[in-house]
């Protein structure tokens, strides 16, 4: 089925990136029209839309904003991670920091076996603590060539075998295509 994620189709979740991407753009238009910093309901709505787009749960969606003053990334979504801390851009083990530094999107379908910072995985988000990130996509959020943040979509499970389908190149292309919309969204988010 051209244009549909086969696994999503089998699971009853139709994957229509163009429609869902347009819906996300419309939501950001509305948030911009409100002229206020997005509240927790708005943040949750963005997370739900991204989760639906990629067939993941909302706690498998992360948006981090660059805080130039501290040369670090801070979580916007999930909002429970906002007060936990930041990721220094100089980190050699954090995928988000590497994504921002190199301005390069990537898929890691064996993330659990790769050396990575996992301090944020220990924060309870309502999931079994034995379910860790197994697969992940990470893309910079850009305004031209300037990095404003990072978006990550993951698959969490107890094991790689339980994590479901690999992320595909088309999934990464869809994630990268969201950069202008997510950049507009990040400009609304006041994170210090």
Res 2: pLDDT = 36
Res 19: pLDDT = 77
Res 21: pLDDT = 84
CA neighbor of 47 nearest in space, from 176, 38, 93, 69: 38
The pLDDT tens digits of the residues spanning 166-186 come to 999 999 999 999 999 999 999
User: In this structure, what token pair is assigned to residue 11?
Assistant: 């699971």
User: In this structure, what token pair is assigned to residue 129?
Assistant: 């603590």
| Distances in whole angstroms, Cα of residue 69 to Cα of each of 45, 74, 155 | 28, 12, 31
The pLDDT tens digits of the residues spanning 108-154 come to 999 987 765 555 454 555 667 788 899 999 999 999 889 999 999 99
* pTM for the whole structure: 0.87
Res 84: pLDDT = 82
Q: Domains of the chain, with CATH numbers?
A: 6-121+130-188 (3.30.450.40)
Mean pLDDT of the chain: 85
Res 81: pLDDT = 84
Res 116: pLDDT = 52
């Amino acid at each position: 089925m051209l244009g549909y994620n086969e696994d999503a189709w089998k699971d009853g979740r139709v994957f229509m990136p163009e429609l869902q991407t347009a819906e996300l753009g419309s939501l950001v238009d509305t948030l911009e029209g409100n002229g206020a910093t997005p509240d927790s309901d708005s943040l949750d709505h963005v997370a739900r839309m991204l989760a639906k787009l990629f067939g993941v749960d909302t706690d498998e969606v992360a948006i981090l904003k660059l805080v130039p003053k501290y040369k670090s990334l801070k979580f916007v979504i999930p909002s429970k991670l906002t007060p936990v801390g930041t990721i220094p851009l100089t980190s050699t083990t954090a995928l988000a920091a590497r994504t921002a530094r190199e301005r390069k999107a990537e898929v890691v379908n064996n993330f659990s076996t790769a050396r990575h910072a996992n301090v944020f995985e220990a924060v309870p988000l309502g999931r079994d603590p034995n379910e860790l990130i197994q697969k992940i996509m990470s893309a910079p959020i850009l305004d031209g060539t300037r990095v404003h943040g990072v978006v990550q979509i993951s698959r969490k499970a107890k094991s790689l075998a339980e994590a479901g389908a690999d992320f595909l190149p088309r999934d990464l292309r869809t994630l990268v295509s969201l950069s202008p919309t997510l950049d507009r969204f990040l400009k609304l988010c006041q994170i210090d």
